[in-house]
Amino acid sequence: MKTAGNIIWMVIGSIATLFLGMTLLIPYIPPLSPFNIFSSMNLLFPYALFFTFVCGIICLVRKQFYFSIWIAVVLLLSIPNVLRNLGLSGSNTTNDGNTLSISSYNVHYFNFYETQDKNALSYLKNCQADILCLQEVLVMQHGEHTLKQLCKEFSNYPYQHIYFFYVGKNTRKGVATFSKYPIVQKETALIDSKSHGAISSLIQINNDTLQVINCYLESNRLTREEKEIYASQEKTSIIKRIYNKLAKASQKRGLQAEAVVKMKKDQYPTLLCGDVNDVPTSYVYRTLRGDDNDCFLDLDWGIGNTFHEGLYHFRIDYIFADDKIEPLSFQVNKQPYSDHYPIELQCKIK
């Protein structure tokens, strides 16, 4: 009986380590690779890690020492992925007043279609940031919520860089960067999408020129029915449909991320921020971050989820700073006005 139990746990442990091992390779799989179909498995990395750890403990208790060593090796190889997900600093640098503040926020169309007294717009009007990088910006062609009205609401930000990737009969949707400092050059990423995009703004700050890249990359576009999969009577077909959607969206994001990093100008200090719709164990994250600092990991503590909708909680909004910028403080501001939280950075240009 003991031998049969050992074999069962070796099989279970082998499956767990294989699954975890595959998630470790995902950040290195290019978007056009045939193996990109496995890219969506990165969403399950925390569960694979936990289950592999449990299998290792059980095998150790059962005195399956050689197999426990194998599991321990795979867990040790997972440490870099763990460190991309977990902020361990929680130490913000003292602000001496000579700083720059940036807020990045997916405003979810300002919730204009919801009947509530407050929304993302009301929050931003009271925000003290020097630069606002907004995603999922919506304006109406006519009526109350026009572009002219939006710029009026942000009158304390006299410089704007707005790009609408969708222009319809009644609405326009896009990304926007609002600045208290002059924007001296504007650029749009070469992204083939009517629903997503990225912009680069060169901002003159006293004697320095700062590049701010604001991006909104391919979303998974899951319907409410797909998100509430437990309520469906056709679970198998919906699971397959969800996975196909996730894989296609991951491929598009990978290509979009490659287009975004081409906008980086090495001669300027650069901040890259936005809603990239992918987790820290992804090819997209690895491509966008490059050698830059993930400001959350450097300055905050915990998991730092920025997307919150029902059971779905992930960190998919980031601010990356290159080595010409000194990050001082970082905060995930848990405001209820969108399905994303705004993230806020205080920094210095070196």
Collapsing DSSP states into helix, strand and coil, what is residue 98?
Answer: coil
Under the banding of pLDDT at 50, 70 and 90, the label for residue 133 is: very high
Domain finish residue from 63, 85, 107: 85
pLDDT digit string, tens, across residues 231-266: 454 555 656 666 677 778 888 999 999 999 999 999
At a CB cut-off of 8 Å and minimum separation 6, what does 1 contact? none
**Distance from C-alpha of 219 to C-alpha of 320, rounded to nearest angstrom:** 20
Residue at a domain's end among 48, 64, 85:
85
Amino acid occupying residue 177? T
Are 80 and 196 found together in one domain? no
Contact 321, 293 (CB under 8 A): yes
Domain end, chosen from 85, 117, 143, is at 85
Q: Are 257 and 288 in contact (CB under 8 A)?
A: yes
- Which residues span the domain enclosing 316? 95-349
Determine the pLDDT at residue 325: 95
For 76, what's the count of Cα atoms within 13 Å in the CB-facing half-sphere? 6
* Same domain membership, residue 247 and residue 330: yes
For residue 90, being part of any structural domain is answered with no
3-state secondary structure of 122: helix
Specify the DSSP class assigned to residue 92: P
Q: Are 139 and 39 in the same domain?
A: no
Q: Residue 336 has what pLDDT?
A: 86
Structural domain contains residue 42: yes
pLDDT above 50 for 226: no
CATH number at residue 322: 3.60.10.10
Dist CA 168 CA 156 (whole Å) = 28
Number of domains in the chain: 2
Q: How many CB atoms lie within 10 A of CB 94?
A: 6
Residue 97 binned pLDDT confidence (cut-offs 50, 70, 90): low
Angle at 314 between CA 308 and CA 320, to 5 degrees: 115
CA dihedral 20, 22, 23, 25 (to 10 degrees): 130
Do 80 and 101 belong together in one domain? no
Q: Which residues contact 280 (CB under 8 A, 6 or more apart)?
A: 81, 84, 85, 294, 315
Does the residue 72 lie in any domain? yes
Average pLDDT, rounded, for the chain:
87
- Identity (one letter) of the amino acid at 49? L
- pTM assigned to the model: 0.89
Confidence band (pLDDT; 50, 70, 90) for 290? Answer: very high
Q: pLDDT of 27-65, one tens digit each?
A: 999 988 888 888 888 888 988 999 999 999 988 888 888
